[in-house]
Structure 1
Amino acid sequence: MTATTESARDAAHAGRTATRLGAALTAVVVVAIGLTAFNLRPAVTSVGPLLAEVRAGLGMSGAVAGLLTAFPALCFVVFGTFAPRLVRRLGPALVLCLAAATVAVGLALRPYVGGGTGGFIALSAVALGAIGVANVVMPVAVKKYFPHRVGTMTGFYSMGLTLGASLAAAVTVPLTGALGGHWQAGLAVWAIPALLAALAWTPLLRRDRPRREAQDATERAAGQPHGPAVRRSRTAWALAVFFGLQSSGAYMVMGWLPQIFRDAGFSAETAGLLLAATPAIGIPLSFLLPTVAGRMRSQGGLVVALSAIGVVAYAGIGLAPAAAPWLWVLLLGVSQSTFPLALTMIGLRARTPSGVVKLSTFAQGIGYLLSVGAPILVGVLYERTHGWLLPTAFMAALLVPQAVTGYLAGRQRFVEDELAS
């Protein structure tokens, strides 16, 4: 029996698994995926609005504060590599349950742990590492439970992720005020939704136990791609580079957009709202675009169009940030909807859940690694030129290779077929 036939059989089995969930458990999975997605970014976006208070409270140097812009991507790279083994041993439901619980512990403890900056960074690494694992496993859960609705469910969890990022950026400061003005409480409160996400997975834990021996035998018979083998796929590389470039844009914006607008004369509060508006604008698109993309033979045209919109946004921000700030943010939010497209393509470019976890690990691992340097380089350019024209030109220039690699990754290809040939 050929690898393609076995892959089709695996896909059919995944479809039967989803069907046997029943309406009640399907609703549980939908809620669990939504809650987990919501908790994949507040650990990052809640810190920025309180960074001055965090630095003062911990005695954090400016250099360390600058490195915090790259720290999430580093954690995602390092810890995301453990995801395939964890999924194979434990199943996606238990892995996501444990990841959400670990995020809750890390976020609850990091503002209060002793050791100053070192303790804060160590507990941040715990939370971000768990998020790194969940980043990889979420497309696998979508493929496993909703194999015929990859686009729709990817859109749903992308929307949840974007909502969490936006809400944390917008309400962390008001929440801190409501909790007595202590920055520690303003950061620790985000452990509560993470705990709820962990609890949401518990009804699935007993039924989702993987039969490891049978799974190993099936994957060997099916010729499923091993982690290193994925590197031989051109589509996997195109997707990895595309993922890295769009991640670079996201981290540059999260790290530096408020400073751009503050330098243009806006208050800290307004700059924070402009930052929060960027992912908020993408919330409906995060659901809509993957749904549409999942029905298309190629997603490359969407990537090119969104990248072109981003060039216009960066041009406006660099040349005249105060002229039409909300317009620039609107365009930027639309253009950064390439993130849910990247997640959708991870689910579409492999035939089976086991193929998706390997592709997801590879694409996100390489991608987040590539994204580490971009926000740091923006800071260097800003420091050297004392302005934002050159840094925003650099940010716009990265959209050209993003469009090219996204177009290539969007073609209707399967990594298993490329490896077999």
Structure 2
Amino acid sequence: MAVLEEQRIRPRSGQVFTLVALVLAAVNLRLAVTSVGPVLTEIRDGLGMGGAVAGLLTSVPVLCFASIGLLAPRIARRLGAPPVIAGGLLLLTAGLAVRPYAPNSVLFLLLSAVALAGIALVNVLLPSIVKDRFPTQVGTVTGLYTVALNIGATTAAAATVPLTKSFGDWRLGLACWALCAVIALPPWLLMARSSRNGTPATTRNDGAPPIRVIRQPVAWALAVYFGMQSTSAYVIIGWLPQIYRDAGLSAELAGLLFATTSLLGVPLGMGLSALAGRVRSQSGIAVGLGLFGIAGYAGLWADPAAAPWLWAVLLGIVNTAFPLVLTMIALRGRTPGTVVRLSAFAQGVGYLIAIPGPILIGALHDATDGWRAPLGVMVCLMVPQIIAGFFAGRDRQI
């Protein structure tokens, strides 16, 4: 009896350890991005950064997530997921710690790419860890780590300026975020060591030939859905406060409305992922989120100032498509190795799809000197998101 009890305790304690490792890693997945914007003026002044380089800096995250993410499965097949995640966190630590002290804007950009490459590796591989270690709790655990991701992103955006003022130096205010990556490293180093000592390493070998996900319709549905929801999210991040301000709302209220769309993602994302993991098909959830998006963007198109809080809530709901698509990626693969390949394909192709969106919206605004045309486009883009979500959410695995 004592032996049986010990066998029950060990897996449970291992799951708790893995869950802590997942949450610590997830907290770091947007720090390198959201910590820059609040002090971009100081960065440009300190490095003599021109507008073109500053614009490129906003595009580097998506480019890194797309390109490096596509390489993650090949690396994970050779080394296993935990060692690659540990390596990604090491890259993130180095990039975050060193880039603020770059002597020029080009080196700052390159070191940012180093940090973002680390994030890209971790981005792709975390769903496979969830599938491997929590096969019956995919939705709940995915929701938990996406909540951690949102908290990390929001904290970095909110705290970088106060930290910079406290330290009296924007460089130290940025570099201190490397501590979060350092804290996340030890559990992944231990897991990587365990995989080398004989514990099966996630994705190293599933005992079956690799599946060509590019030939799978569900993989393309996931990629399009990921790309459409990313486009919506980046448009909200990049333009929503300005849309409200151009409608006559104060800067403070516009900022509060934008924060509402982000904060809603914490409880809603957790609950939605848990629900998605319990039902056989997620198509209805994906379609429902798209309808909320149509309502939110249509409301902004009609009059942003008419019901600004309602539009913000509706767009906050559609933003929970991100934890939903991560949950669907983990559910659509039969094995952790397949999940890695699905995750890399969906995120890599999805981020490539998302690159033109915010640029197109900005160009339309400049061309028409208003927001009706751009918001009309966003209403229309909800249609392919709904269609892709319907097919991505169907109860099938590869």
- TM-score computed with the length of structure 1 as normaliser: 0.86
Q: Matched residues in 2 for 1:98 and 1:378: separation?
A: 36
Flag structure 1 segments of 5+ consecutive residues without an equivalent. Answer: 1-17, 416-421
Distance 1:210 1:369 in 2: 38
Q: Check conservation: 2:81, 2:125, Cα contact below 8 A.
A: yes
- In structure 2, how many angstroms separate the alpha carbons of the residues matched to 1:330 and 1:399? 16
What displacement does 1:347 show? 0.6
Q: After superposition, where does 1:6-405 map in structure 2 within 5 Å?
A: 22-115=11-104, 117-180=105-168, 182-209=169-196, 219=206, 222-225=208-211, 229-265=212-248, 270-405=253-388
Cα 1:260–1:177, aligned 2, differ >3 Å: closer, same or farther?
Answer: farther
| SS of the residue 2:159 aligns to | helix
Shift of 1:41: 1.1
2:208 counterpart letter in structure 1: A
Give 1:214 deviation, angstroms. 11
Against the structure 1 CA distance between its residues 152 and 60, is the aligned structure 2 distance closer, same or farther, given a 3 Å change threshold? same
Q: Secondary structure at the match of 1:328?
A: helix
How many angstroms apart in 1 are the aligned matches of 2:201 and 2:43? 50
**Does the Cα contact within 8 Å between 1:96 and 1:198 map onto a contact in 2?**
no
Identity %: 50
Letter aligned with residue 177 of structure 2? W
Does 144-153 or 347-356 show the bigger shift? 144-153
Aligned-pair distance for 1:317?
A: 3.1
**Counterpart-to-counterpart distance in 2, 1:210 and 1:74:** 35
Please report how far the alpha carbon of residue 359 of structure 1 lies from its aligned counterpart in structure 2 after TM superposition. 1.0
2:4 equivalent in structure 1 = none
Shift of 1:213: 11
Q: CA distance change for structure 1 residues 345 and 216 in 2, over 3 Å: closer, same or farther? A: closer
Q: Would the aligned equivalents of 2:73 and 2:341 in 1 still touch at CA under 8 Å?
A: yes
* Residue aligned with 2:278, SS: coil
Spell out, residue by residue over 1:10-68, the C-alpha distance to the aligned partner (whole angstroms, 9 max, x if none): xxxxxxxx979533332221111001111111211222222333333333333333343
Q: Retained in 2: the 8 A contact 1:300–1:410?
A: yes
SS of the counterpart of 1:259?
helix
Q: Find the aligned partners of 1:231 and 1:128 in 2 and give their Cα distance.
A: 25
Shift of the 216–378 alpha-carbon distance from structure 1 to 2, 3 Å rule, reads closer
Could you tell me how far 1:402 is from its partner in structure 2?
0.2
Of 334-343 and 103-112, deviating more is: 103-112
Q: Is the 8 A contact 1:70 1:251 kept in 2?
A: no
Displacement of 1:130 after TM fit? Answer: 1.0
1:267-294 Cα shifts (integer Å, max 9, x gaps): 5555444433322111011211111111
Contact 2:204 2:337 in 1 (8 A): no
Q: Which residue of 2 aligns with 1:7?
A: none
User: Using the alignment, how far apart are the partners of 2:158 and 2:123 within structure 1?
Assistant: 23
Change (3 A) 1:20 1:148: farther
Looking at structure 2, the residues matched to 215 and 152 of structure 1 have their Cα atoms a distance apart, in angstroms, of: 20
Q: Once the 2 structures are TM-superposed, how far is the Cα of residue 401 of structure 1 from its aligned partner?
A: 0.3
Single out whichever of 300-309 and 376-385 deviates more from structure 2: 376-385
Q: Name the CA distance, whole Å, in 2 between partners of 1:106 and 1:189.
A: 12
1:306 to partner: Cα distance: 0.9
- TM-score normalized by the length of structure 2: 0.91
SS of equivalent to 2:101: coil
Partner of residue 3, structure 1: none
Distance 2:60 2:203 in 1: 35
| Residues 145 and 20 (structure 1), Cα distance of their counterparts in 2 relative to 1, 3 Å cut | farther
State the 1:300 CA deviation.
Answer: 0.9
| 23-32 vs 230-239, which moves further | 23-32
Deviation larger for 206-215 or 123-132: 206-215
Paired with 1:144 and 1:345, the residues of 2 have a C-alpha distance of 15
Q: 1:8 matched to which residue of 2?
A: none
Cα distance in 1, alignment partners of residues 294 and 195 from structure 2: 45
Larger deviation: 92-101 or 233-242? 92-101
CA drift at 1:195:
1.3
How much does 1:74 deviate? 0.6
**Deviation of residue 375 (structure 1)?**
1.2
SS in 2 for 1:345: helix
